[in-house]
Chains A and B, each alone.
Chain A
């Protein structure tokens, strides 16, 4: 099976190369046989990549340590679930995983479009095949997961303990599903550019894919934050590390696209912009993969430096040149069919939303690349850290939040004064009330204050929209309000799903604002010692050390501390925090020690305890962090994902006609006989 897998990688490469060649040729020569052969070659590539993946999984599960990848990332005593997820734990395996997802996506895209978009499809197939060729070539020639060692080690080195976490088992697949998901819209964009068929057709074909990519990207980022929070032990969930930034960039651009696409659908504007966003989302995904692997930008968490970086750089440059050429030669075909009519209109709000999102993306990209840029330009490597990103992105983020509240309230084309008064009265009043209330409660941090005020605006907007919709159904169809709500969402998933996403955004922003009230204490405790500290809410906490225990479990040696915790004099429970030294099956330490954070969570705040060091037999250095509202980050993330699901959920055809934006009435051809009902 392992040999089969290795060989099928090469066959897959050949198949993908064949698919690329005949698809482009078939499209140019309008030869149906070639086009069909290209599509079949993609399905064959999928079969081969699946075989290769099964081969790697077989190797992992049978502990075949003669294979370098297996020996490097697993050990005989690694829990089975992490042996399976070790597939994407290392460089070459994760590349194969990319290729696997890409070939699955490609096959689905070809299958769902087998009777649609036929003019575009040869070029879509060709572009996807080219991306597959790149990945498969990188795997086969640069970083082959089936590479053999010239000896067979008795045991593997094991998986990095920080990756032995459920979050890390599911975070990368989600992120990859998101990254790779941008390939399909990219392929459609290239096809539309090549064929100059730049009308709404290609856009309709990619909307769902862009949404899918956005959904997985969101889930991937939130899971990544959660993993960093519970596993890395530095007390936060976002450090503006290059690798984190890399995952945020395509998300920002994709979010911009999902908004601007509505402007093109409704008003025929922003056509160049939309092509640019689709292409950028893909390029940024590749860029993200590139910087996590190349070692170009030093990151606290990155894969080892490897030659694969050069492959990615070359591919990135090639893709940028090709798309820049294509877009610049097709500007005529991308002319808008309408002009902006008023500054006070939905489309203007969307335009600003796009500007802000892209502005954030640019500043993040700029800050991430700044060490390289400054070294190239001035010869000095200058780095920027969280202060830079916070200074720039907090104002922009707040502006974005404000627009989230305003956008849905303004009419398309041109809003009247009466319309504005009617729509804004309740949201603005609520926002002002909440703002004053929060200020009175003692929140004087400007960013936090604005965050809650604008959050209230968005929240009131959403509630008002839902209320109006439910009421309209109640009066029109006589439905009870309890039935009207789910029906309202079901009949107009795109709109109300979008509002659910916005709700998630509000929750996440409110949680971010909580960071302003973070408190951190370093304590030194011997067994029996008690230390007291005060959190931002004014509660008094005491920590009593029960002492340090040392024991062995499964594949690790554990040093743990247990703390009796009281809050305002009342017992609050026990927090334990561990240091773990992982060992292989012979008891040999495999990695540096890792930290297991002790978290006592509530919706108000997390008490986050890290065992930083042990002094003597019973002295413990601990760091206690009071992290306000962290749970709301996960909750908001879940809401955003849920909203994404609602929007994506396939609607029945009958409902699709009702769902606003997507409704395109087919004109009846001139001269067609209207069916004569009476005569029949």
Chain B
């Protein structure tokens, strides 16, 4: 066998393994990224979407955040306008998590229509830009305006 052919076989092996790893990893670890409206539509068509790990991008409903005083549990509502879900999350909330921000939660939607989140990311499109219009409604801002 020519060395070139040997190399090509070896190369195909490397690429093949990488491709296989990538494909199987996506199957095992890839999760649907939905909005509450889409998730609700999915569960109506296919009930297996209950209790399945999904990622949901939505906005926190103003004034809905309730923190459990002793523990580390927080409950809030999230919405995309079409559908609103109750969310329960145990863990430390990020600094950016306040009323009205966009969040990405990962977890499972229970049959009681409560979303149990295992991760909570608060996204602000403006992370490196600065406080945009939407923060005008946050308590911090209102308080600041009254002071000013």
**Complex interface residues of chain A between 320 and 360 (CB less than 8 A to chain B):** 339-343, 348, 351-352, 355-356, 359-360
Q: Beyond A163-B128, A522-B72, is A382–B95 a contact (Cβ under 8 Å)? A: no
Q: Beyond A382-B32, A392-B18, is A298–B57 a contact (Cβ under 8 Å)? A: yes
A399 located at the interface, meaning its Cβ lies under 8 Å from any Cβ of chain B in the complex: yes
A363 located at the interface, meaning its Cβ lies under 8 Å from any Cβ of chain B in the complex: yes
Q: Is the CB of A383 within 8 A of B127?
A: no
B108-131 to A contact mask, C-beta < 8 Å, 1/0: 000000000000010111111111
B126-148 to A contact mask, C-beta < 8 Å, 1/0: 11111110010000110111011
Q: Which of B24, B26, B96, B135 contacts A382 (CB 8 A)?
A: B26
A191 to chain B, nearest CB (A): 30
B32-49 to A contact mask, C-beta < 8 Å, 1/0: 111000000000000000
Q: Is the CB of B31 within 8 A of A356?
A: no
A258-266, A591-599, A656-664 - the one binding chain B: A591-599
Q: Which of B29, B104, B130 contacts A160 (CB 8 A)?
A: B130
Residues in A neighbouring B14, C-beta threshold 8 A = 352, 355-356, 359, 399
CA distance A371 to B57 in the complex (A): 13
Q: Which of B24, B33, B34, B98 has the most CB of A within 10 A?
A: B33
Interface size class of B (residues with CB under 8 A): 35 or more
Q: Beyond A382-B30, A392-B22, is A160–B10 a contact (Cβ under 8 Å)? A: no
Q: Is the CB of B148 within 8 A of A586?
A: yes
Q: Which of B15, B72, B128, B140 contacts A301 (CB 8 A)?
A: B128
Residues in B neighbouring A348, C-beta threshold 8 A = 3, 7
Q: Beyond A384-B26, A621-B72, is A303–B128 a contact (Cβ under 8 Å)? A: yes
B55 located at the interface, meaning its Cβ lies under 8 Å from any Cβ of chain A in the complex: yes
A196 to chain B, nearest CB (A): 26
B11 located at the interface, meaning its Cβ lies under 8 Å from any Cβ of chain A in the complex: yes
Residues in B neighbouring A644, C-beta threshold 8 A = none
Q: Is the CB of B3 within 8 A of A613?
A: no
A566-601 to B contact mask, C-beta < 8 Å, 1/0: 000000000000010100001111111111000000
A388-415 to B contact mask, C-beta < 8 Å, 1/0: 1001100110010000000000000000
Pair count A-B, CB < 8 A: 156
Q: Is the CB of A359 within 8 A of B93?
A: no
Q: Is the CB of A300 within 8 A of B11?
A: no
CA distance A352 to B14 in the complex (A): 8
Q: Is the CB of A595 within 8 A of B95?
A: yes
Q: Is the CB of A612 within 8 A of B92?
A: yes
Q: Is the CB of A392 within 8 A of B25?
A: yes
Q: Beyond A355-B14, A388-B29, is A590–B95 a contact (Cβ under 8 Å)? A: no
B52 located at the interface, meaning its Cβ lies under 8 Å from any Cβ of chain A in the complex: no
Q: Is the CB of A391 within 8 A of B31?
A: no
Nearest chain B residue, comparing its CB with the CB of A154: B148
Residues in A neighbouring B129, C-beta threshold 8 A = 72, 90-91, 160, 303-304
Nearest chain B residue, comparing its CB with the CB of A304: B129
CA distance A90 to B128 in the complex (A): 7
Residues in A neighbouring B11, C-beta threshold 8 A = 351-352, 355
Q: Is the CB of B92 within 8 A of A623?
A: yes
Q: Is the CB of A302 within 8 A of B57?
A: no
Q: Is the CB of A384 within 8 A of B30?
A: yes
Nearest chain A residue, comparing its CB with the CB of B129: A304
Residues in B neighbouring A581, C-beta threshold 8 A = 140
Q: Which residues of A contact B (CB under 8 A)?
A: 72-73, 89-91, 157-160, 162-163, 233, 295, 298, 300-305, 339-343, 348, 351-352, 355-356, 359-360, 362-363, 366-367, 370-371, 374, 380-385, 387-388, 391-392, 395-396, 399, 522, 524, 579, 581, 586-595, 610, 612-613, 615, 621, 623
Could you list 15 examples of A-B contacts with CB < 8 Å?
Answer: A91-B129, A160-B129, A298-B57, A300-B121, A301-B127, A302-B128, A303-B128, A340-B7, A343-B6, A359-B14, A374-B30, A612-B92, A613-B93, A615-B70, A623-B92
